[in-house]
Amino acid sequence: MIAILNYPLFPHETDRFHTVFHIREDEEQFLWSHHLEFHVLDLSQFMVKWKKYRRDVKQSPEWPWLMMLSAVDSRTKKIDEEMVRELEGVAMTEQEILEALEEWQNLSVDPENRYAYEMRLKWLLDQLSNIRGSREEGLKEGLKRGLEQGREEGIKEAIRKMIEKGMSAADIANLLDLTEEEVNERLKG
């Protein structure tokens, strides 16, 4: 699995932009499989490293691909011209990077591809909004039900205590603004 993020997933544990995880048995520490890995690539941390320590970053095999993903800031719609120039320089010697850059430009220029991308992004954002809205509705409904249930339990407890103190169902009903039947029902339940 490869997760490409634009935020640090483990900000307190590491400042590396590429971390790799394996599944190990808890006690004896043997691997589940040598073929199962989780790679986390943090573009925000990559940008910090790239701007400060370019030489160190260039030693990693994934750096041109991460530069390609980081060259455009989707939030501000700005292109990092310096990164693009460096990528173009790399593309002169690396055929894969050249092909990827050409494909990237073709996808960006073609209005149909751009429209399809924007519609997919809109759909994903709508789904996220729906999930957040549903979660908030669920929390509100759960809180409402919890308060109602708590109130009902409180009334039942108060009725039991009043009965123990020798009050009649009629007095309790009058005090709590209930009918005698409602008081007796709550005593049973």
- Sorted by where each begins, the domain ranges of the chain are 2-109, 129-188
- Entry field: residues in the chain: 189
Q: Work out the pLDDT band at 44, boundaries 50, 70, 90.
A: confident
Residues sharing a CB contact under 8 Å with residue 96, sequence separation 6 or more, in sequence order: none
Q: Work out the pLDDT band at 37, boundaries 50, 70, 90.
A: very high
Please say whether the beta carbons of 72 and 37 come within 8 A.
Answer: no
Confidence check: pLDDT of 133 > 70: yes
Confidence check: pLDDT of 28 > 90: yes
In whole angstroms, what is the distance from residue 53 CA to residue 74 CA?
24
Write down the pLDDT at residue 156.
85
CA-closest candidate to residue 91, choices 117, 71, 111: 71
Confidence check: pLDDT of 177 > 80: yes
Please say whether the beta carbons of 35 and 23 come within 8 A.
Answer: no
Write down the pLDDT at residue 179.
87
In whole angstroms, what is the distance from residue 18 CA to residue 56 CA?
13
Please say whether the beta carbons of 18 and 62 come within 8 A.
Answer: yes
Confidence check: pLDDT of 26 > 80: yes
| Average pLDDT over every residue of 71-100 | 68
* CB environment 49-81: b (16+ within 10 A), e (fewer): bbeeeeeebeeeeebbbbbbebbeeeeeeeebe
- With residue 18 as reference, give the H or E element that holds it: strand 18-21
Question: Residue 83: how many CB atoms within 10 A of its CB?
Answer: 18
